[in-house]
């Protein structure tokens, strides 16, 4: 994997000083740190507790990157002020990736909204005080396209209305955090902001802790989703999400802009299962082969909160544009089929999924 990271436009002469990454213990953050180190960036990462540094090192090693000499750690939690000033001190750019993304929604939405929104403001405030040039924030398509439009076509011009009926807490946390970030820079200035809005992120995993998105693939491969909801979503590769952050960090035209990160046309759960079946015939029996109808979903959503999102979307097929990232930042994401296959292969390689063919 390291060779692949280097082949994607690496330079031995970083155009930034020390880069601070939040959320490095996570899926996107782990890939982000590996890529930065492989390109020779001095990289500081925040972890919530000092003992968590080993987790980041394990992710970086798994990516095949051996530049730990460039890695520094700082301790800070999005929910508290402590540590952010020290984390940002001497930093030229911040990649603010961290945000709570639990597999199961919490009972109280503030558990997500407060760390996402107030944590973002803590990061921005510390960064501005430290004289950081630019912050790139990982937002989400959740902040763009969850207030359904009649034509179902979405670009960076679109915003999810946080008051949308039935909007899940995670989506609300992302839209409120991104709004707060733009308000911060527009009101007070003094720092550049660029935002990346990825759709569902898939692609190789680097460790046993799985992001909410990747649990879908594991669940499908292990027979945990015998029937799937009728729902279409965008897919983007984690390596391309990282690549887009780096372009947004460096490109002069990225300041003040948001960029949708999407690898291709939206796919359905069943379409994802078909791709997996074609790639891994040994998983055929475990993989879902049918989907709920809309009526079945609406009925099931009455007792199953996890289906409310899908039922509310009513089988729509969102058309999500990557034109801006492609044209402004020359971003070229890989094919969605490859991303789905690589997700599965990495889960198997790490022993997180074992395929058992029926005799
Ligand atoms: P992940 O693997 O769950 O990582 C989340 C990261 O955020 C972890 O490092 C976590 O740290 C950190 N974090 C959460 N709460 C925190 C807090 N209170 N203080 C400090 N750090 C905290 O999820 P991911 O997929 O990598 O997500 C990374 C970013 O991408 C998030 O902003 C997410 O909203 C966004 N995103 C993800 C997807 C997707 O499909 N995966 C799609 C669009 C956008 P701990 O290890 O300490 O918990």
pLDDT for res 215? 95
Q: Does the residue 6 lie in any domain?
A: no
Q: What is the CATH number of the domain that holds 183?
A: 3.40.50.720
Query: How many domains are there within the chain?
Result: 1
Q: Which atom of ligand 1 is nearest to the CA of 200?
A: 40
Report whether 222 contacts 159 (CB < 8 A).
no
pLDDT in tens, 157-181: 999 999 998 899 999 999 999 999 9
The reply to whether 121 falls in a domain is yes
Domain membership of residue 298 (yes or no) is no
Q: How many residues does the chain have?
A: 359
* Residues spanned by the domain of 126: 18-202+236-262
Of ligand 1's listed atoms, the one at least distance from the Cα of 212 is 41
Place of tokens 């989907």: 291
Calculate how far, in angstroms, residue 194's C-alpha sits from the geometric centre of ligand 1: 18
pLDDT 10s digits, 227-265: 998 999 999 999 999 999 999 999 999 999 999 999 999
The catalytic position among 149, 172, 174, 324 is 174
**In this structure, is residue 332 part of a structural domain?**
no
Residue 161 lies in a domain: yes
Q: Does residue 150 sit within a domain?
A: yes
**Is 107 a domain residue?**
yes
Which of the residues in the chain have pLDDT under 70? 1-14, 305-306, 311, 313-314, 357-359
CA of 138 to the centre of ligand 1 (A): 9
Q: What is the DSSP letter of 78?
A: T
CA distance 212 to 206: 14
Active site residue 172: no
Q: Distance (Å, rounded) from C-alpha 12 to C-alpha 7? A: 12
Report yes or no on 300 lying in a domain: no
Ligand 1 pocket test target in 211, 234, 248, 272 with most atoms within 8 Å of CB: 211
Three-state DSSP state, 134: strand
Nearest atom in ligand 1 to the alpha carbon of residue 25 is 9
């Amino acid at each position: 994997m390291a060779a692949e990271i280097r082949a994607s436009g690496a330079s031995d002469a970083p155009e930034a000083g020390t880069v601070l990454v939040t959320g490095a213990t996570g899926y996107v953050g782990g890939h982000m740190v590996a890529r930065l180190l492989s390109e020779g960036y001095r990289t500081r990462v925040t972890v919530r507790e000092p003992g968590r540094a080993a987790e980041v090192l394990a992710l970086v090693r798994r990516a095949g990157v051996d530049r730990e000499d460039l890695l520094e750690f700082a301790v800070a939690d999005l929910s508290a002020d402590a540590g952010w000033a020290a984390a940002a001190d001497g930093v030229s750019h911040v990649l603010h990736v961290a945000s709570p993304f639990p597999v199961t929604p919490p009972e109280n939405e503030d558990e997500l909204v407060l760390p996402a929104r107030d944590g973002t403001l803590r990061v921005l405030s510390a960064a501005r005080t430290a004289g950081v040039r630019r912050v790139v924030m990982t937002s989400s398509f959740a902040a763009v396209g969850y207030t359904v439009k009649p034509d179902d076509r979405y670009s960076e011009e679109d915003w999810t209305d946080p008051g949308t009926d039935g909007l899940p807490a995670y989506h609300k946390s992302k839209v409120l955090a991104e709004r707060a970030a733009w308000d911060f820079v527009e009101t007070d200035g003094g720092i550049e902001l660029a935002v990346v809005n990825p759709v569902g992120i898939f692609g190789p995993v680097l460790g046993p802790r799985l992001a909410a998105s990747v649990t879908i693939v594991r669940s499908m491969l292990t027979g945990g989703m015998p029937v799937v909801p009728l729902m279409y979503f965008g897919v983007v590769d984690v390596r391309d999400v990282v690549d887009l952050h780096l372009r947004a960090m460096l490109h002069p035209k990225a300041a003040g802009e948001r960029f949708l990160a999407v690898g291709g046309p939206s796919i359905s759960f069943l379409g994802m299962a078909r791709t997996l079946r074609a790639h891994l015939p040994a998983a055929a029996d475990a993989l879902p082969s049918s989907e709920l109808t809309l009526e079945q979903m609406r009925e099931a959503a009455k007792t199953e909160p996890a289906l409310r999102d899908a039922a509310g979307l009513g089988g729509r097929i969102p058309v999500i544009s990557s034109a801006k990232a492609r044209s402004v930042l020359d971003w070229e994401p890989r094919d969605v089929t490859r991303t789905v296959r690589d997700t599965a292969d990495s889960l198997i390689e790490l022993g997180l999924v074992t395929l058992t063919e029926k005799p």
